[in-house]
């Protein structure tokens, strides 16, 4: 059995998972587990149904089944349901309601003018960790990726999100949590938000030249010693743009074995499996009509 098969088998045993062993199941890890299993051609019904049970009437999903806010993980659930939608229509209502919620919520626009003390355009609006606060890179990248997968590429919210992500790129490439210059000091990039930002900018040819320094940054920074989550998101971002390192699988095997030695986290196992199959992202499906309806949609889920 290969290391990847072992990782998939372990994940399939408990796809409804948290960030670490014995932790309460959470939306993001479970959505990642579903995506990973689907990418491997396995059933993810248990995880997908659990996510549906966590969905609020307004379409959003919180951190877990009990914490209904903040609701930034909603985009991950959309991606998981979309990945299953080519063979299972049970989640169409859940997708519609979640997409409607994502489009209806927005971060708060800032009023501070761009300057040598604040390096980004604060007037651009996308998504935040907590509603009605400043836009940040990771929640914006997650929701943009979800909306594009749901065939909302041309929506005005998506176009502004692309502009925001490009605007928040650091001068020498890469992204951090969402600032560029603070009080005259240029901040440093980080691997995980850079990978997520590049993943969100997949299919945006007009920004190809602008993001080249960010691709260079990840190519220089990634290696087998990088923390598992950062490594996986970094590889997914590079792979989306056709720059997958030749040693990627070796690094992922090292990350897998390190994860088993430390805590066998379901979240990390999901990321490793997903990054290993990043050349065939499971949410790259034929666009589906998930038009936003004004009336309340009652799900037709087959979950038990």
pLDDT score, position 117: 54
pLDDT score, position 287: 42
Q: What is the largest CA-CA distance in the chain?
A: 57
Helix (H, G, I), strand (E, B) or coil at 118: strand
pLDDT score, position 276: 96
Q: How many CB atoms neighbour CB 2 within 10 A?
A: 8
pLDDT score, position 16: 98
- Retrieve residue 207's tokens: 């920004």
Distance CA 59, CA 73 (A): 12
C-alpha to C-alpha distances, 97 to 50, 132, 244, nearest whole angstrom: 16, 20, 35
Distance CA 300, CA 304 (A): 12
Q: Which helix (H) or strand (E) holds 181?
A: strand 181-182
* Domains parsed from the chain with CATH numbers: 3-280 (1.50.10.20)
Q: What are the residue ranges of helices labelled H in 150-190?
A: 156-167
pLDDT score, position 133: 87
> Can you list the residues of the chain whose pLDDT is less than 50?
285-302, 304
Distance CA 232, CA 276 (A): 8
**Residue 291: beta bridge partners?**
none
């Amino acid at each position: 059995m290969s290391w990847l098969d072992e990782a998939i088998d372990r994940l399939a045993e408990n796809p409804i998972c948290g960030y670490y062993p014995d932790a309460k199941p959470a939306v993001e890890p479970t959505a990642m587990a579903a995506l990973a299993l689907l990418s491997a051609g396995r059933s993810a019904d248990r995880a997908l149904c659990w996510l549906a049970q966590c969905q609020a009437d307004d379409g959003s999903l919180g951190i877990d089944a009990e914490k209904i806010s903040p609701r930034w993980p909603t985009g991950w659930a959309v991606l998981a349901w979309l990945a299953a939608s080519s063979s299972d229509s049970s989640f169409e209502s859940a997708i519609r309601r979640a997409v409607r919620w994502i489009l209806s919520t927005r971060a708060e626009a800032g009023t501070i003018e761009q300057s040598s003390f604040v390096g980004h355009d604060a007037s651009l609006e996308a998504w935040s960790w907590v509603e009605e606060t400043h836009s940040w890179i990771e929640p914006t990248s997650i929701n943009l990726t979800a909306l594009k997968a749901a065939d909302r590429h041309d929506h005005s919210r998506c176009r502004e999100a692309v502009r925001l992500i490009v605007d928040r790129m650091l001068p020498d490439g890469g992204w951090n949590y969402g600032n560029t210059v603070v009080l005259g000091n240029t901040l440093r990039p980080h691997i995980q938000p850079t990978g997520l930002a590049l993943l969100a900018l997949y299919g945006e040819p007009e920004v190809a030249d602008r993001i080249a320094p960010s691709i260079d940054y990840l190519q220089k920074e990634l290696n087998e010693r990088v923390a598992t989550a950062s490594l996986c998101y970094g590889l997914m971002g590079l792979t989306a743009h056709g720059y997958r390192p030749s040693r990627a699988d070796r690094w992922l095997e090292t990350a897998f074995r390190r994860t088993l030695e430390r805590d066998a986290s379901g979240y990390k196992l999901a990321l490793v499996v997903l990054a290993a199959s990043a050349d065939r992202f499971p949410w790259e499906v034929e666009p589906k009509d998930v038009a936003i309806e004004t009336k309340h949609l009652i799900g037709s889920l087959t979950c038990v």
